[in-house]
Amino acid sequence: MSSIQTQFLDLTAHNARYDAIDPNTTLKGSAEGKIVFIAGASKGIGQATAIAFAEAGVKAVYLTARTATALIETLALVQKANPNTQCAYAVCDVTDAAQVEAAVNDCVAKFGAIDVADANAGYLGPWVKIGESDPNGWWRNWEVNVKGSYHVIRFALPHLIKSAEKWAAEGKSGGHLILISSIGAQFVMPGASDYQTSKHAINRLCEFVQSDHDEDGIKCFAVHPGGVATDLGHSMPEHMHEYLVDDPNLAASFAVWLCSSAGDWAKGRYLSANWDVGELGAMESEIVQDDLLVNRLRVRS
């Protein structure tokens, strides 16, 4: 078996929403009473995630992105999906700590809590070799993908901890944190040093969140959302576009599934939205016992 094959689970792959993770059927009502904060919610996967949580009966969704007009469009789609879901938004650049903190505080002021935080904002610049790269452009990937995710983590965590305590007292699960990773985190592809190393860092950051806050009831996941034909996806070289075959509703519904408590056992790990959740769940004992789906140095025994 090649080194690439050993980094992925051999599970049935899905490209679109399916029954086990459908917020309109199987997961209907699973998000009732919860408040969801989404960074990068103006379009694509973030927008689909906001709608999916509304379909699952979430109490409120708080949306952030850099463009007000796009956020207003997402807000309208959320309210169409579920008129009972409250919704608010803030223009916010995740690379600015003060803006993220203000948005988190506004969410709590409006809705009283944050039960789920989704760090969905991302960036992918041109693929060029390191020796030909623009220093500012190279670092921009880290500014958005890692620093931006850190800001969401840092300011949402105190509220997620309170959420975990509250829902645990009711015999339920709260305090969920989703970090958007990428299958690219597991590859070394020429020209992708900025993006792929930033996503590899997201996987380890997820592990650190879990290590630091597992006793607080936090459930953190680093999620590959699939190959989605978003603006970011189309920033990849053209020959890679053939892999952009996944519907944004796949990752959105997978996020709802994770936050329903069904995936709590997989906290602190890298997961792919493409993986069949039934087959994934059947591997729970093996994954936990052998500490799989985490970043580790492979050496000979």
Catalytic residues: 195, 199
Contact 39, 61 (CB under 8 A): no
The Cα–Cα gap between 118 and 176 comes to 8
The Cα–Cα gap between 284 and 293 comes to 11
The Cα–Cα gap between 128 and 118 comes to 29
The Cα–Cα gap between 260 and 73 comes to 26
Q: What is the residue-wise DSSP string for 119-142?
A: E----------GGG--HHHHHHHH
The Cα–Cα gap between 30 and 229 comes to 28
**What are residue 255's phi and psi, to 5 degrees?**
-65, -40
CB-based burial label for 200 (10 Å; 0-12, 13-18, 19+): buried
Residue 208: both structure tokens together: 């650190």
